[in-house]
Structure 1
Amino acid sequence: MESAVTRLNKFLSEAGYCSRRAADKLIEEGRVTVNGKHPEMGTKVSSTDEVSVDGKVVSIKKKSRVYIAFNKPVGVVCTTDTRVEKNNIIDFINYPSRIFPIGRLDKDSEGLILLTDDGDIVNKILRSSNNHEKEYIVRVDKPISQTFVKRMSEGVPILDTMTKPCRVQKLSRDSFKIVLTQGLNRQIRRMCSYLDYEVESLKRVRIMNINLMSDVGEYRNLTKEELNTLNKALKSSKKTW
């Protein structure tokens, strides 16, 4: 009987090495080999194939999954490529096993980011059409007007698209709360800039049902209740592939 086959990017994801998207990048960069040869995109592998990344064999092992919530400081970069960035999130946390961030939080921002070795959950959370909420507290460089709140909540044109309607609440003279269901590159900063405001500080305080509850630079394991609620919310979610 032939061994079951799976796409190479899915294999790396299920092995807890990285997300499928990151796996595709590794394949494109020529850092992945299958039985000693560089594979094409979309290659399928079985349990009898030897998959390596940067010369190190990757295998799927049955183990308990890791799910942590990290309060990222300003200056830390959300990348798993430790060769490129010195202030990368992986070296900063120095977790004892391989994990990777779910999505990104730009270098100049702080707050909640989830990390895991479960590639499947990464794909479900990242897909913007699943409308998963992310909440931020933002401080800008001048007083916030009602016009600003209205236009931000209705959507503004950035990156050749119109941002989705979102919830915006003024908190003080120069700060507001915003809840997004999409994750365009530097979205809040670009939205504010379009309306002639400059972001002075940006903190993510919630992803879906997970709230920021640790000090800056610290991480915690998700509770059993948080994981159960998260998995229920993700049950009907589509994957990115």
Structure 2
Amino acid sequence: MSYPMRLAKYLSHCGVCSRRQASRLIDSARVTVNGRLANHIDHINLTDCIMVDGEPVTPPKARRLFVYHKPVGIDCKVNPDDPASIYHVLPESCRVYPIGRLDKDSRGLLLLTNDGALCQQLIHPDHHQEKEYEVQVDKPLDPDFCLKMAAGVPVKGQITLPCTVEQIAHDRFRIVLRQGLNRQIRRMAHYCGYRVIDLYRVRIANLALTQLEVNSAEVKEISAELIQLT
């Protein structure tokens, strides 16, 4: 992380909010730099005192990124009182949180970070980062299944965005999403008359489980420079 840094970018790196939200905070006169109202052109150094709504902003810690091959049965909610929570497998060396979620019945690639900006870039709908899944359903696929799924179907009052869907076995398909609605793939398949019995995330952006060589239920630190965002 290099300094000096533009103020909005700095607030994002500190995990305060996204850069767009930071610009709104600055416009609303809610941010100060060394005791004066902030400007969009301000460039920040580590010695500067930044405050939002009168509260000091903690300088960003070194960016860290972990990959986790989540098994079925682990809940992505960080809850120390739940024996099934991901809390109990998080690295003790730093405070990180999952980027997006996989539901308890799903498995595969999960990213964990302490970098709020990276989290925003991966999960915010404006960025449309790819996520790839291999899915098994409860019966053989109809010939038009992939076309229907790829074109978009109703989920939670909206039509899902067009996506890539490819049949890989009589009851399995591969799907690449740039959207992240709650339980989206399961809801899409249900609309088409199928029940998902195995959902396996194999890739996020350019990071794939095969290249990361991470075993099931393993948490592994990787260089944050490995991830390439579109």
Residue 200 of structure 1 deviates from its aligned partner by 0.7
Equivalent residue letter for 1:44: D
1:60 Cα deviation after fit: 2.7
Letter matched to residue 100 of structure 2 = G
Q: Is the 8 A contact 2:64 2:224 kept in 1?
A: no
Deviation sequence 1:58-92 (CA, Å, 0-9, x none) = x7355421101110111111112324x32111212
TM-score (norm 2): 0.73
Alignment pair present for 1:101 and 2:110:
no
User: Contact between 2:89 and 2:219, CA under 8 Å: does it hold in 1?
Assistant: no
Q: Match for residue 73 of structure 2?
A: 75
2:64 is matched with which residue?
66
Whether the aligned pair in 1 keeps the contact of 2:189 and 2:195 (CA below 8 Å) is: yes
1:28-61: CA deviations, max 9, x gaps?
A: xxxxxxxxxxxxxxx72343xxxxxxxxxxx735
Offset at 1:130?
Answer: 1.3
Q: 1:44 aligns with which of 36, 41, 53?
A: 53
Which aligned segments of 4 or more residues in structure 1 are displaced greater than 3 angstroms? none
Calculate percent identity across the aligned residue pairs: 39
Mapped to 2, the partners of 1:86 and 1:184 lie a distance apart of 26
Q: Given the alignment of the two structures, is residue 130 of structure 1 paired with residue 127 of structure 2, yes or no?
A: yes
Offset at residue 117 of structure 1 (A): 0.5
SS of the residue corresponding to residue 130 of structure 1 reads: coil
Structure 1's unaligned 5+ residue stretches are: 1-5, 22-42, 48-58, 234-241
How far does the alpha carbon of each residue in 1:154-204 deviate from its partner, in whole angstroms, 9 at most, with x for none?
010010000001000000111110000000000000001111101010000
1:217–1:20 distance in 2 versus 1, CA, 3 Å: farther
* 2:139 alignment partner, one of 129, 139, 142: 142
Paired position in structure 2 for 1:218 = 218
Letter in 1 for 2:54: V
Give the residue type in structure 2 aligned to 1:200: I
Kindly report which structure 2 residues correspond to 1:53-202, keeping only aligned pairs within 5 A, or say none. 60-61=58-59, 63-83=61-81, 85-202=82-199
Are residues 156 and 125 of structure 1, via their aligned partners in 2, closer, same or farther at CA, if it must alter by over 3 Å? same
Letter of the 2:150 counterpart: S
What SS does the corresponding residue of 1:124 show, helix, strand or coil? helix
Change (3 A) 1:158 1:198: same
Runs of 5+ in structure 2 lacking a partner?
1-6, 19-51
1:203-228 Cα shifts (integer Å, max 9, x gaps): 0000001111311101222246514x
Letter in 2 for 1:64: A
* 2:141 counterpart SS class: coil
SS of equivalent residue, structure 1 residue 113: strand
One-letter code of the match for 2:79? D
Deviates more, 1:152-161 or 1:73-82: 73-82
